[in-house]
Structure 1
Amino acid sequence: MSAPGAGPALVLASSSPRRRELLARIDVAPARVASPDIDETPLPGELPRDYALRLAEQKARAIVRGEGELVLAGDTCVAPGRRILQQASDADMNRRFLELLSGRRHRVYSAVSLIDADGVQRSKCSENIVKFKPLHADEIAAYVASGEGLGKAGGYAIQGRAEALILWMSGSHSAIMGLPLYETRLLLKQAGYPIG
């Protein structure tokens, strides 16, 4: 992993352990982690891609940046059509999300935003497609009971049990998990962060 002092210090604007795990896959270890506090309510008529980008950018800007620090933030949203499915906050919401996604394709927009050492902000968004098998009521009940979908966009975690319910996907697995690594690596390199 990148050694302290080898380049600008990176702040991860996220409380998500998945994002830290994903960064570790490309040998990036944030110098510190800060949890942004923003309103995540979609704007009237806001499209899912615009929503993911706006939230990633707002999260990065919500963190107080020290001199020379980089701030990295991400946001992921699940969208059947134009509808934005946020994080499932309880079992009933989780069940309703899975019933909605059952047997159909949906898009997963995963945005990343980076503020560099000079305060310049750049953002990218990865668009991906996922299709669930038709889900039986007992499959939905079992998944909801596992608790895995709570706190996850769309009410599921592709890196967990839900992967066995997905017929196919097109795009970036890391983006669907919560951070598009290809786009993240590009932004870090542009900002002068030491990455291979």
Structure 2
Amino acid sequence: MDKPVLRADARRNRAKVLAAAEQAFAVDGLAVPLDEIARLAGVGAGTVYRHFPSKEALFQAVVLERIEQFAQEARELLAAEDPGAVFFDFFKRVVKQASLNRALCDALAETTGLGFKAGAGTDFRSALQALLIRAQAAGAVREDIDGDDLRALIAGCLAAERYSPESRHLVRVVVDGLRKAS
């Protein structure tokens, strides 16, 4: 079933709500009230509810948009020349960007929810696994790591970044552990 086409003003309001929600969720995660998002967007609470029936639906829309961007970037990197370097750079970039955004961090660390189970999350997981497989085939990444292990390592790195932000070396330790021994 196709979505109805929104009027220009409704599209603008939806975009304002998404931008405000992304900003608010990045700082406060799901704790931010919808009224605060409406205020930041410069719209009424009713406008927010017309586009998103719940705070969770808005959160999912914001997070999935960013995860879709990660998936697209990973797919584009599949053609890169140095699969190992590309894989490690992408892994570190995902952890870094997600650690700066509480909503994204929460979603990527969630093992049963938004980040990896809904549409874009599946695309992200598949694209990340494809990068992993290429890097393994090139001899850059250990062969005993699979996509589920990688997801767990991302969640672990996000927890390390979130709860011990001064310990930047922990992500490097994880990345070093992924490298295939020479």
Q: Does TM, scored on the shorter chain, surpass 0.5?
A: no
Give the number of the structure whose residues are more often strand, by fraction.
1
Give the number of the structure whose residues are more often helix, by fraction.
2
- Shorter-chain TM range is under 0.3
User: Which of the pair has more CA radius of gyration?
Assistant: 2
Q: Which has the higher contact order (CA 8 A, sep 6+)?
A: 1
